[in-house]
């Protein structure tokens, strides 16, 4: 940081052409820009006006905040680069490569002349900014949410979330394992061989992030948290029902062990809920089990989509599996599409 200096916007434009790269309508001599000469290594980079001023540790010659930062070389950031200001933010120009754990922009404009290598997530979360990467980009997750993001070189990621504002310059150089959302070329034309209408790929995210709430995501990125779900820890399918404390979980366990599909945002399947209706049979039927359609069903022919299920046949299979596990099961007398289920399996009878 001892090498950081300030120059006027006029000097920054003469040296680096910043006016041609960013939308800058400020006076050329009354606005200052920060410059880091050569390759630089930082702990983190707060890309917001007030925070950038404090981070630089420099005294401004003019009252306006620093307009942006130029790194005249490559930039290595041990932790995060984040921009929280939705409507605006200082620009960032890196004339070499960028390496960081997480990189998120909102209202700022960013140009990376070289490659962008991020350990976890590259995110653009608002529509007032723009991010351009001239070289190749590598990350676990690449996410755009109304933020124009251009990848002119190749793109490598486990998950691409394209909120209709992701553009790529080299479709043949894109290697993304799973997509959610449309991907366009640099002129905004949809690329038919990249992206998808389906949101099913969001299942790869940790459940905390599947709603794609921008502030939740930025907080996680600054905490060094990957957005991807970790190794399976859900014990529904392998927990011994004798040691399951929650009776509803025990019922789910039986149905999963029987090969039945659980309902969620993308899949049809069973739902286990507490019975709030008057119970007539069986006695102590404190839970209800029923079939529910997906909240966001896939369009016919979507790759990876499971075969559709028959509701009536599924309900019969639920009853069979639960009865075999010792549960008291009966059809709800007020709704034939709902099963009333006891809270605990009936202990087997023992001989005298």
Angle at 114 between CA 110 and CA 116, to 5 degrees: 70
Greater model confidence, 296 or 78? 78
Reply yes or no on whether the pLDDT at 198 is more than 90.
Answer: no
DSSP 8-state symbol, 207: G
- Band the pLDDT of 163: cuts 50, 70, 90: confident
Is the bond leading into 271 cis (omega within 30 degrees of zero)? no
- Residues near 298 by beta carbon (within 8 Å), at least 6 away in sequence: 198, 200, 266, 305
Q: Give whole-number Cα distances, 351 to 151, 226, 327, 348, in Å.
A: 73, 56, 20, 10
pLDDT of residue 301 exceeding 80, the answer is no
* Confidence tier at 241 by pLDDT (50, 70, 90): very low
Buried b (16+ CB within 10 A) or exposed e, 68-98: bbbbbebbebebbbbbbbeeebbbbbbbbbb
pTM of the model: 0.80
User: pLDDT category, 2, cuts 50, 70, 90?
Assistant: low
Average pLDDT of the segment spanning 3-7: 91
User: What number is the average pLDDT over the span 94-119?
Assistant: 97
Domain ranges in the chain are 5-222, 241-341
What is residue 284's predicted lDDT score, i.e. its pLDDT?
Answer: 61
pLDDT digits (tens, 9 = 90+) for 35-91: 999 999 999 999 998 899 899 988 777 767 889 999 999 999 999 999 998 888 999
Closest CA to 17 of 89, 107, 113: 113
Q: What pLDDT is attached to residue 107?
A: 92
């Amino acid at each position: 940081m001892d090498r950081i200096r300030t120059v006027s916007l006029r000097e920054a434009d003469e040296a680096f052409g910043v006016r041609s790269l960013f939308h800058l309508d400020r006076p050329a001599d009354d606005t200052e820009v920060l410059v880091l000469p050569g390759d630089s290594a930082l702990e983190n980079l707060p890309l917001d006006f007030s925070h950038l001023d404090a981070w630089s540790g420099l005294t401004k010659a003019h009252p306006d905040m620093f307009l942006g930062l130029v790194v005249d070389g490559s930039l290595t950031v041990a932790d995060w680069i984040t921009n929280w200001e939705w409507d605006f933010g200082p620009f960032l120009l890196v004339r070499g490569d960028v390496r960081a754990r997480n990189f998120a922009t909102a209202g700022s404009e960013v140009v990376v002349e070289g490659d962008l290598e991020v350990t976890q997530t590259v995110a653009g979360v608002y529509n007032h900014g723009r991010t351009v990467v001239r070289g190749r980009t590598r990350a676990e997750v690449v996410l755009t949410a109304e933020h124009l993001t251009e990848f002119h070189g190749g793109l490598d990621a486990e998950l691409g979330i394209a909120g209709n504002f992701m553009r790529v310059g080299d479709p043949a150089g894109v290697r993304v394992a799973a997509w959610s959302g449309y991907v366009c070329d640099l002129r905004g034309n949809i690329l038919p061989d990249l992206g998808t209408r389906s949101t099913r790929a969001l299942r790869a995210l940790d459940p905390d992030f599947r709603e794609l709430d921008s502030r939740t995501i930025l907080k996680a990125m600054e905490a060094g948290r990957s957005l991807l779900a970790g190794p399976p820890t859900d014990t529904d399918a392998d927990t011994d029902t004798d040691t399951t404390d929650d009776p509803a979980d025990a019922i789910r366990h039986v149905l999963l062990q029987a090969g039945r599909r659980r309902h969620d945002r993308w899949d049809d399947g069973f739902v286990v809920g507490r019975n709030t209706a008057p119970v007539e049979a069986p006695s102590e039927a404190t839970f209800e089990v029923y079939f529910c359609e997906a909240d966001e069903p896939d369009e016919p022919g979507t790759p990876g989509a499971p075969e559709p299920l028959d509701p009536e046949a599924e309900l019969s299979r639920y009853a069979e599996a639960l009865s075999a596990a010792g549960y008291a099961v009966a059809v709800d007398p007020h709704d034939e599409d709902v099963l009333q289920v006891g809270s605990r399996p009936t202990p087997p009878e023992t001989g005298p």
